[in-house]
Every structure is written in C-alpha cells, then in structure tokens.
Structure 1
Amino acid sequence: MSERMHTTPLPVQPEPKGWPRVKKFVSSRFRSGAWRARKALIPAATSAIAAVAAYAFASIIFGHSEPYFAATAALISLGFGRDPHIRKALEVSIGVTLGIFVGDTLQTLLGQGYWQGVIVVFVTIILARFIDSGVIFTTQMSIQSVLIVLLPIPPEGPFSRSLDAVIGGIIAIAITMLTPVSVRREAVAGFRELFTSITGVFRELSHALESHDSRGGWVALIEARGLQTKIDAVRAELAAADEHATYAPTRRSARQDLQEMSRTLEKTDLAVRSLRIIARRVITVIDEVDGKTEAVDDLERMASWFGDAGDAVAVLGRSVSEPVAPGRHRSLSVARDALGSVTTKLTPRNLGAGTLHGEALVMMCRPMMVDFLEATGSDHDEATSYLPTLGN
C-alpha cells in the first residue's frame, strides 16, 4: 500500500513594488503590443494601399482636387478585422456612401451652416435606423454626413464627394476580393475544438459508466449541451469562408473543400443532438443498476464501447484538419473504418444491455453512429451497412 505523501505548500511570491512593478508592467505591455503589431502587419499594409489607391484614382482619373472622402471610405469599408469579409465591406461602403450622398443632397438644398448641420445629422440618423438596426451603420452615416455639411464645397461640386465615396468603396471591395486569406483556417480551428469537446463527452460517459457514477454522467450531459454553441460558431466561419470563396477569384478552388466541410458539420450536428439524449440515458442506466452487482459487467462493457467510440470520433476530428484534399480524403477513410468498427458492435447482446434502459441506450447509439459515418462522406446506405442485425 502506498503511503500518502505530505508536501509543504510553496511560499507565495509577493507582488513586486515600486520600480520592479513598473518594469514588469511595461514589459508585459511591450510584449502584448509587439504581438498585436506583428498580427497587424498585413491588415495595416492592405488598409494603407486601399486608402492611397482610392485617393490617387479619384485624383488622377477624375481630376478631383481633394478626394479625402475616397481614402476615408476605403479605410472604413475595409475595416481592420481579422480577415476582410466581402459582405461586410459592401455593407459598410454602402453606409458610408449613403451618408455622404445625404449630406451632399441636404447641403445643396439647405446651404451650409450650424443649423443645417443639426438637420443633416438628425435626418441621417433617422434614415440609417430605418435602413438598418446596427449602431455602427448609423454612426458611419451620421459622421460622413456631418463632415460633408460642415466642410467647404470642393471646386468640382458637392456631389463629387459622393463619387469619391463610391470609388473608395469599390477599391476596398476589390482589395478584399483579391486579398490572400486562408478561407479554411478559422473553420478548421473551430472543427478541431469541436471534436476535442465531443471526444471529451464520450470519455466522460465512459468514465461514468466504468465508475458507476451518475454525477460523471451529469457532467457529460452539461458538456454535450454546450456543444451547440461551438457548432454554431463553426457554421458561421464556414459561411464567411464560402462567401469569400464565392466572390474572390483567387479562392474559387476552395469551394469544393468548404462544401465537404459543411456536410461534415451538418451530419456532426445531427450526431451531437443524439449524443445529448444518450448522455441523459446513461445517467438513467447507471441509476438503474445501482446496487445490483450482477449488472456491473454490463456497465463495464458499455464503458469500453464509449471509450472506443470516443477514439474513433477523435480520428474523424483530425481528418477534417488535413490541409489538402487528398490527405483529408485518406484520413476520412481511416476515420470511416474506425467508426465502422465501433458501429458493428452495437447490439444489446454485444454490449451486455440486460435491462430495458440499457437496450434503449444501445438503440439510441445506432442512429448517432450512422450520422458520424455520414460525416466522413459515406452515403446513407453505406453508413447503415455497418449496423449489425439485432439478432446478433
């Protein structure tokens, strides 16, 4: 029998004071600032090129003397997010252009002055709220319109600034379409996190069955209920990636990959919905056999199956993160074999389900595993072919 080890608690390090504290704070801020600056290199370069290109285009091609609003519209439309999104750039450019156009129109009708500025901002805000519920959209329109009505009219006329805004928006959208971004990167990261969590639920269920602890089943159930948020996040990333691949000529080839990933996600979503119900049933099965020594072996066989199923699902999760299609397809084939091997054991007799709730648990696992198999790219007939007949 091993002896309990006694350890002395580690001493708590006191917080630095005076100059060491200031030095630690400055060092921490410097490291975080340097990290943000490195991440901003490409977005900063893209924004700078867009602003100067819009200004130069309006100045050289159209002969505008001070096309500041072309550069402003390009910068605002492009934004400074993680990756530029075409739909967002289009929406923002429309808001900026509309705000400038409203300002130009009202300035032409009312003239220039302070009270005119009040009317312009008021009308612009009301119009923006009518068009869109977003606060940012309203702010963009109102800022552009008030600048228009308070700044001097350019020599080319009031509506030249509206044209500048259109130029800036178009250039921002064009740069967004041509910007080399990885359309799969965020979706793959989301898939990796999602399948790690799904695997964790399987292992929690396996441990709960093995230790006859229904509290572990409740933990797995809570984790399973939280999977929907991660599924929705991956779905949003795939939608953004598909948008970019649809409109960007340099990313058209990625659409097939994204379609396959979307199918994997939808089938995984169906499987997770079943997993939540299964987690609740596991709790019932554990409670049902509590105190019945003859049912211990049955729980251990089910625990072993959930552990194997979790390992197979982990293989599926790794398959989705493969960078190129040939490697991903080979990896999905391996995942299909692993999932199929687990599915062939799904009968009440094989898993020792000798009670009504135990049999119900096994039957619930069958459609879930079919969904996971279809997530690998199998059609429904191929996926169901792995299910053993219930007489076995």
Structure 2
Amino acid sequence: MAERMHTTPLPVTPEPKGWQKVKKFLSSRFRSGAWRARKALIPAATSAIAAVAAYAFAAIVFGHSEPYFAATSALISLGFGRDPHIRKALEVAIGVTLGILVGDALQALLGQGYWQGVIVVFVTILLARFIDSGVIFTTQMSIQAVLVVLLPIPVEGPLSRSVDAVIGGVIAIAITMLTPVSFRKEAVAGMRELFTSITGTLRELSSALEEQDSRSGWVALIEARGLQSKIDSVRAEISQADQTATYSPTQRSTRQDLQEMSRTLEKTDLAVRSLRIIARRVITVIDEFDTRSPKGDDLERMSVWFSDAADAVGILGRSVAEPVAPGRHRSLSVARNALGAATTKLTPRNLGAHTLHGEALVMMCRPMMVDFIEATGSDHHEASSYLPNV
C-alpha cells in the first residue's frame, strides 16, 4: 500500500486591517512618490531654469515690466520631462505664440471684455484646427488667447506679450537642442532584447526538431510572429534618437552609430519575415516525419543546425550593443564569420533533408541567413558568397 505523503500547509499571511492597512498604503505611496521625485530632479531643474531665464531675458534685455508669458511659454514649450522631440517642442512653441498673437490682435480690434473673450476663444480654436489636427496644439492656442484677452494690457503695449512668447519658446527649443536626452541607450537595449528573442525562437525550433514535438514548433511560430512588434518599437526608438542627433550639436557624433544600427535592423526585419515562414515549415516537417522510412529527414542534424544558427545570431545581438565603434566592428566581424559558417552548411544533403518538405525548409533558411550576414554590414554579393552550391 502506497504511503501517504504528508505536506505541511504553507502559512497564510493575514490581510492587514485598520491602521496597518492605512500604514501599508501610505508607505507604498511614499516609496512611489520618492521614486518619481528622484526621476524628476533634472527635468524640474531644467524647467525652473528655462522659465526664470526667459522671464529675466525679457525683463532685462527688452525692458518688459511683467513678462509672465515668457516664463509660461518656456515651460509649456519645454514640457515637463523635457521631451527631446525638437519638432514637437517647436510645434508647441508656435502654438503658444500664435495663441498670444491672435489674442493680442483681436483684443486691439474688439477691446476687452467677456463677449470679446468668447469671440477670441472661438476664432482661435477654429484657426488652430485649420493649422494643425493635434488636440494639444489647439488647447495651447486657445488657453493663451483667453489669458491674453482677459488680462490687463501691459504698459509696453499688447504686442509685447507676443514677443515674450517668442522669447520663451526660443529658450525652450535652445535648451532642448543643447541638452537633449539621448535615446541611443534605449535603442541599443531594444536591439539587445530583439536579438535575444530571435535567438530564443531559433532554439525553440531546434528543440522542436530534436524532440519531434510540433507543439514546440507552434510555440516558436507564435514567438516569431511576436517579433514584428519589437522590430517596430526599436525602429521608432532609432528614429527618435536620430532626430535628436540631427538637431542637437552635442549628439551628432552618434549619427553614424544610429545609421549602422538602422541598417542592421532593416536587414534583421527581412530575416525575421523569413523566420516566420521557416517556423511554419518546421511544424510541417515534424508532422510529416516518418521514423520507419529510411529516406526520411534527419531531424537531429537539422536541430543541430538551428542551434548553431542561434549561437551565431546571439553573437550578432551582442555585437550591436558594443558602445565603441572599433569594438563593435570587430565583434560584427566575428558574428559574420559565425553566421557564414552556419550558412555554408545549408544544403539538403548536409542537413539530411530527403523529403520535399525537408528540402524546402533548408532552401528557406538560405535567404534568412543572407539577410543576417548583411545585417553585420556586408553587401549582398559578399553575403551570398557564403551560400554553398546546391
């Protein structure tokens, strides 16, 4: 008679009640608030400096008595967190300035009062929608216009507020260009994660072939289909970083790195498109495998090849993350050799493919590997030279 297994029940942690629950909530809120405050140190300092600098510049250089719109324009254009999109900062600055300018013009034409404020906001919103479809652009223009028409006219005259808005916007854009947030690290991290996922998919296909398990093949296919969203995310990060490097004099040295990274990503995108088709073919090869047939496909050899391909792609992923160009180029050369070594084995005979499905699988792997080799910086002719004759 089998012995019964006696297990000790896990201790149950009682739910906090009363003051303990409040204390836990306050502690959690304090920790999250402290984390947000630490992250906001640099953006807060930058915003404060921009606002006061715009106010001081308008007051000292132009002699404006109360240049509040210079400070508000700088804060709004800069945005909390100092969004490094030059184009976005420029659009916000233009929206703020136009709102103030429209308010000044209509106030000079209609005078000041409540019904004038209604007309100003109405006209400003229509003008904003005509210029741009963005909701933020429309909101900024209308807010500035209504403030202008309801506040007293400064002693310097109505157009002085438009000048203040221009000053604040220019200072915000200058700060954005001179002290941008570099997105290269985010792009590199995204590339590293992408290649980790590609390597994992190739290893999943290797495991599926080794274990003759089509369910693992389906898992790999799902993973391969999910790679496209990661590619699109990395593409957006590279585009963001390239925009910053284009306009910022402090980031232009990274443009060459970003161009190389973009080329690697585009070739990897092509390889991943092939990988999705290959994953589907692996499932078919496993489902059609017949252990009784002496002329069947050698799934073990195919499994080993996919494992070798995963190792080579893993080297490529680590190469992209190299921070210095000389080291990255040397690492890409190592990746090229590893990918080339795997590519030279791609013939049906070398991988033991004897059926129609097996041969089709091997032939599908050839363009994928060419794309991966081109991702290391090789041209198409050099990458294709690794392919063996069939």
Please give the TM-score of this superposition, normalised by the length of structure 1.
0.94
Q: Which residue of 2 aligns with 1:389?
A: 389
CA distance in 2, matches of 1:24, 1:346: 60
Distance of 2:35 and 2:296 partners within structure 1: 54
| C-alpha distance 6-241 of structure 1, shift in aligned 2 (>3 A) | farther
| Distance change in 2, residues 1:207/1:12 (3 Å) | farther
Give the corresponding residue for 2:113. 113
Please say which of residues 160-169 and 332-341 is displaced more in the overlay.
332-341
Unaligned runs of 5+ in 1: none
The match for 2:54 is 54
Report the counterpart of residue 212 of structure 2 in structure 1.
212
Residue 208 to residue 9, structure 1, CA distance change in 2 (3 Å): farther
Assess if the C-alpha contact under 8 Å between 2:100 and 2:161 holds in 1.
yes
| Superposed CA offset, 1:10-62 (max 9, x none) | 33423222222222222222221121111111111111111111111111111
TM-superposition CA deviations, 1:199-228 (whole Å, max 9, x none)? 121122122222222222222222212211
Structure 1 residue 177 displacement after superposition: 0.7
SS class of match (1:249): coil
Residue deviations 1:89-116 (CA, integer Å, cap 9, x gap): 1111111111111111111111111111
Please state if 1:322 is matched with 2:322: yes
How far, CA to CA, are the matches of 2:39 and 2:370 in structure 1?
A: 42
SS across alignment from 2:250: helix
- How far 1:9 moved relative to its partner? 5.5
Could you give the per-residue CA deviations for residues 210-253 of structure 1, whole angstroms, max 9, x where no partner exists? 22222222222222122111111111111111111111111111
The 2-side partners of 1:111 and 1:208 are apart by 78
* Runs of 4+ more than 6 Å apart: none
Show the counterpart of 1:358: 358
Cross-structure match for 1:230: 230
Tell me the distance in 1 between the aligned counterparts of 2:207 and 2:182: 39
Distance 2:101 2:281 in 1: 61
> d(CA) in 2 for partners of 1:170 and 1:64?
17
Computed over aligned residues only, the root mean square deviation of the Cα atoms, in angstroms, reads 2.0
2:9 & 2:208 partners in 1: Cα distance? 32
Q: Tell me which moved more, 287-296 or 225-234.
A: 287-296
Task: Name the counterpart of 1:344.
Answer: 344
SS at match of 2:64: coil
CA spacing shift, 1:263–1:7, aligned 2, 3 Å:
farther
* Amino acid aligned to 1:205: L
Structure-2 residue corresponding to 1:174: 174
Change (3 A) 1:345 1:8: farther
Give 1:334's aligned residue: 334
1:324 and 1:202 mapped to 2: Cα distance? 28
Return the offset for 1:8: 5.0
Distance 1:302 1:382 in 2: 25
Counterpart of 2:181 in structure 1: which amino acid? V
Whole-angstrom distance in 1 between the partners of 2:99 and 2:77: 13
Q: Percent identity, aligned pairs only?
A: 84
- Please state how far the C-alpha of 1:124 moved relative to its aligned partner: 1.4
| Cα deviation 1:52-97 (Å, max 9, x = unaligned) | 1111111111111111111111111111237522111111111111
Q: How far apart are residue 180 of structure 1 and its match?
A: 5.0
Q: Does residue 269 in structure 1 map to residue 242 in structure 2? A: no
Q: Which letter maps to 2:256? A: Q
Contact 1:183 1:254 in 2 (8 A): no
Corresponding letter in the other structure for 1:55: Y
Tell whether 2:133 aligns with 1:161: no
SS of the residue 1:250 aligns to: coil
CA distance in 1, matches of 2:243, 2:261: 14
Q: For 1:162, give the aligned amino acid.
A: S
CA–CA separation in structure 2 for the residues paired with 1:265 and 1:294: 42
What secondary structure sits across from 1:65 in the alignment?
Answer: coil
